[in-house]
Chain A
Amino acid sequence: MEKNKADKYRYLTVNIIIVLASLLIALVLGAFLFLIAGANPFEAYGVMLTQPLDGLFGITEMLVRAAPLMLVGLGIAIAFRSGILNIGGEGQIMIGVIFATAVGLSLPEMPKIVLVPVIFLSAFIGGGVWAGIAGWMRAYLNVNEILSTVMLNYIAIQLYLYLLRGPLIDPKEVSYGTGVPQSALLPEAAWLTRFIRGFRLHSGLVIAIVLAVIVFLFLWKTTVGYRMRAVGAEPKAATYSGMNVKRNLVLAMVLSGGFAGMAGAVEVLGVHHRALESISAGYGFSGIVVALFGGLHPLGIIPASAVFGLLIVGSDMMQRAVEVPASIILAIQGLIILAIVSSNIFLRNPKLRDKIFRLLGGGKEAKIEPEGGRA
């Protein structure tokens, strides 16, 4: 038992080293992109990585972005752990925004204590059903879930724009003739509490952290969670031991989409108080990076979402300072994904694995279990 614990810590250390090394490699490669874009990479990274931490505005904005990233990342980790890939976070967020906005606007008289949970639940259901389509098709029709979730993204974006320009548009926008595609403001009872006057930091962050702990307890301390992870790790073994693999795949996808849907609700209730055209800002894709960076573990995802909140806020500040578009952060996130998935070879190849382990002072018989979903 003692030894097991030591191995566990060593495994954790290896993971942290690999993830940080991946980040470093991606940033070094990203430096060449800055050079191509005609900027000084040191100056650009200097602004990106330090300016948000310099003052209350940057720190609160970083945490404002960490909340949706954490929720999407949790959802993606649940799916990946269960052996199904969810690339559809972006679409699920939008469906969540639609549900949150529609429910919030149709219940103007409800007290806060009831309204906020009802909105979160409906956004969860919306995102969950949307992702559940892909989960069901994967389980019962053998449709590749990556392709179906990507397609559902494009469909959700169009559905969202249609609703925002038509049925959900703010009546004021129509009567004034401005026609900006956005919904009416939600009743104030639906707004999440803001902690500091003049800053957008809101209680959505606390909700996300509580949910992260719940996901951890669910996946590691309950039977249902254990089954889901078993199906993800060894589908055949899980089948032989009588688990319903198909049902678990659908369940994983529904939960995963539900979390992305709640991220949409957080953006509506916490930040904008209405549905806007470009509300998601790529959180669906950044959430994948957050989940991988956090080792597909809820307690790793909490700090990971802060790191990527920093990078996203920092890239906006960098855009103003060195005039390279903030979209470069998308490319850097892509590089981070490539670096992290490439590093898996160090964990999967027994020779390299033992070598790293010996460097950390472990015995040869020590085992590092590679974790995560299937390709």
Chain B
Amino acid sequence: MILEIIIGVIISGIPLSASLLFASLGEMFSQRSGVFNLGTEGIMMLSAFVGFYVVYIIGSPVLGILAAMTIGGLMGMLMALVSVTFKAQQGISGIGLYMFGWGVSGTLFRVYVGGVTNIDGIGRVAIPVLMDIPIIGKILFNQNPMVYLAYLLVPVAGYVLFRTSWGLKVRAVGTTPQAADTLGVSVERIRYQCVTLGGVMSGLAGAYLSIGQAQMFADNLTAGRGFIAVALVYFGRWKPVGIMWGALLFSMAHALQRSIQVYGIDFPYEIAVATPYVLVILVLALTYKGRSLGPLALGKPYNREFRG
């Protein structure tokens, strides 16, 4: 019974981690370049809707994902415009982007769809033979293709950030923008690229939620996952592997909370739903040491001409 629950939690937990992983890896690039993008939640909401809507109308999940990534990228550029070009306070502007994405997705959903409608998105794909391995087969080889993609992006993101010259520039811009600027690296351009990349990844996260995981859209579908993704970047110490462990931890907590309901254990439903959020706060509080490992220029707009 206990083993059954644990395996059940792992099987249902892994798919839940993909949206966190996409968004969090994107946010990592944004923060590594020095921009704190709190608008992730709003980007995920709007792109989840756009992806859903394209599948709803045209029926093509691939086009849906591409549309969601495009919208995500555009919203990332909007965030970059506000926080890099206009040098706005990043915490508040992220909340503006959040409200914008929430309002637009909610409005368009009600106008063009109306109620909860299921779509044929992307489901699980079992890998033959490997799938038949007991326990492990079900856990690892019977997943949504987008889940494989999410985990594939972990080493890719690590390679790009730590082994390419662009990644070096990103880290330089996020740590000592003045020095990077002196060496001829355009701080603004790198930050634009990173925040836009973060938006595209959040778009992918949103698309996974509506097209892959839920195969439908509802108002407030993301339920704070965008904010959790931002918290995971802190938890993972701005490193892809750390972020991956964080995403797994939270999705397992989420799955455990769901299985508590499924197995009919007598526990208030609302308190169970709140546990992942409590966990985020606890984790943020317990991992405060070593905060200095973060990008030094995080949250500070760079200005060549004056310091301010």
Which A residues form the contact surface with B (CB < 8 A)?
A: 33, 36-38, 85, 87, 137, 141-144, 146-148, 150-152, 154-155, 158-159, 161-162, 165-166, 285, 288, 292, 324-325, 327-338, 341-345, 348-351, 372-375
Contacts and interface: CB of A to CB of B under 8 A. Distances in A.
B111 to A, nearest CB: 5
B231 A85 contact: no
Contacts of A335: 96, 100
Contacts of A332: 103
B263 interface: no
B89 A154 contact: no
A348 B302 CA distance: 12
16 contacts: A37-B108, A285-B95, A327-B106, A328-B103, A334-B96, A334-B98, A334-B100, A334-B103, A337-B92, A337-B99, A342-B82, A342-B86, A343-B86, A344-B89, A345-B87, A375-B300
B102 A338 contact: no
B234 interface: yes
Contacts of A337: 92-93, 95-96, 99
Interface string B255-295: 00000000000001111011001101100110010010000
Interface in B175-223: 219, 223
B299 interface: yes
B49 to A, nearest CB: 12
Contact of B284 (A147, A165, A338): A147
B246 interface: no
Nearest to B223: A154
Contact of B278 (A85, A147, A155): A155
A287 B306 CA distance: 32
B284 A344 contact: no
B110 interface: yes
Nearest to B291: A142
B89 A375 contact: yes
Given A159-B270, A166-B268, A375-B36, A325 B284 contact: no
B117 interface: no
B110 A327 contact: yes
Interface in B222-253: 223-224, 227, 230-231, 234
Given A166-B268, A375-B299, A33 B104 contact: yes
A162 B231 CA distance: 26
Nearest to A348: B308
A331 B92 contact: no
Contacts of B277: 151-152, 154-155, 158
B307 to A, nearest CB: 11
A144 B284 contact: yes
Given A37-B107, A375-B300, A154 B91 contact: no
B270 A341 contact: no
B284 A341 contact: no
Contact of A331 (B91, B107, B230, B281): B107
Contact of A349 (B231, B281, B306): B306
Contact of B103 (A146, A158, A333, A338): A333
B101 interface: yes
A330 B231 contact: no
Given A158-B274, A338-B96, A329 B306 contact: no
Contacts of A38: 111
Contacts of B30: none
Contacts of B107: 33, 37, 324-325, 327-328, 331
A325 B115 CA distance: 13
A327 B111 CA distance: 11
Contacts of B98: 334
